[in-house]
A = this chain, B = another copy of it.
Amino acid sequence: MTSPLKIAFIGLGQMGGGIAANLIRAGFDVTLYNRTREKLKPLLEIGGKAADSVAEACKGADILVTMLADDAAQEAVTLGPDGAAAHLPKGALHICHSTISAATARRLAEAHEMAAQAYLSAPVFGRPEAAAAAKLFILTGGKPEHAERAKPLFDKIGQRVFPMGDKPESANIAKLGGNMLIATVIESLGEVLALAGKAGIDRAAYLEMLTSTLFSAPIYKTYGALIVEEKYEPAGFAAPLGLKDIRLALAAAEELRVPLPIGSLLRDRFLTLLAQQGAEDLDWSAVARLAARDAGLN
């Protein structure tokens, strides 16, 4: 009988907490670290172990899993003398679920390679409820053998894995492109609902028509309802994160010399939104408010 895989898990926000819980319940030996210690509590109760530092969590781990808010947090946890690359054993694998830039993914991969470790970009689609229900969609970027090694974990947290390419950043670029598509749905719904509203069409009936015919994807229903009800709080995904993801998509595209006109338009919308007082806490779908405002609707 083999002992379970030893996993270090760093980043226990809404998404990370759900993923970690599923790994613990699946029987893995999970050591947890989070900057804010209180987030650990429910996970310790179901069998997780606590570490006081990144270094302590990484010591002796077979696999490191991270789910952090942005590039800066991810770099702080991974690089430098106190970072994961310096403390994971040789041969360990880092599975990175964070939505980070292509450039940072490349930098992480290089740092782990220099430390004789492996790196796999593995951003996910799914909201906190999907993470809790082990229903995430997982995109992978990296060598197939690393993705293979991650499979036992992925089986316990997601519903399907999509390999995007051998380069780590392929998964990050794929994820950022997907988020740009979601933001496009929000903006375009915002525009046509402003038009409908000013034309005297009942906006809820219009949305019902759209989502009953050509636009049946849940994303149209979910965001369409938020826009029709102007329900932008509490944020499921906060506006500053939306700006961040559009910025990262544009940065990856700029590096590859790919113009993204809709991406540019979205960036201007998020900046406009976030230039207004109090917008930091709104859901990113609040950009749809600007189309209504520019039409003189409020």
Contacts and interface: CB of A to CB of B under 8 A. Distances in A.
A174 B262 CA distance: 22
A296 B218 CA distance: 33
Interface stretch (A1-9, A108-116, A144-152, A208-216): A208-216
Indicate the size class of the contact surface on chain A. 35 or more
Interface string A243-281: 000010100111011111111110111011011110000
Contacts of A73: none
A247 B257 contact: no
The binding surface of chain A is classed by DSSP as helix
A214 to B, nearest CB: 5
- Residue from A125, A169, A294 having most chain B Cβ neighbours under 10 A: A294
Interface of A: 102, 125, 137, 139, 160, 162-165, 167, 169-170, 173-174, 177-178, 180-182, 184, 187-189, 191-192, 194-196, 198-202, 205-206, 208-210, 212-220, 247, 249, 252-254, 256-265, 267-269, 271-272, 274-277, 291, 294-296
Given A184-B262, A216-B216, 17 more contacts: A102-B199, A139-B209, A165-B202, A173-B201, A174-B201, A178-B214, A187-B262, A195-B249, A195-B260, A217-B220, A256-B295, A258-B271, A259-B268, A259-B294, A259-B295, A260-B291, A271-B294
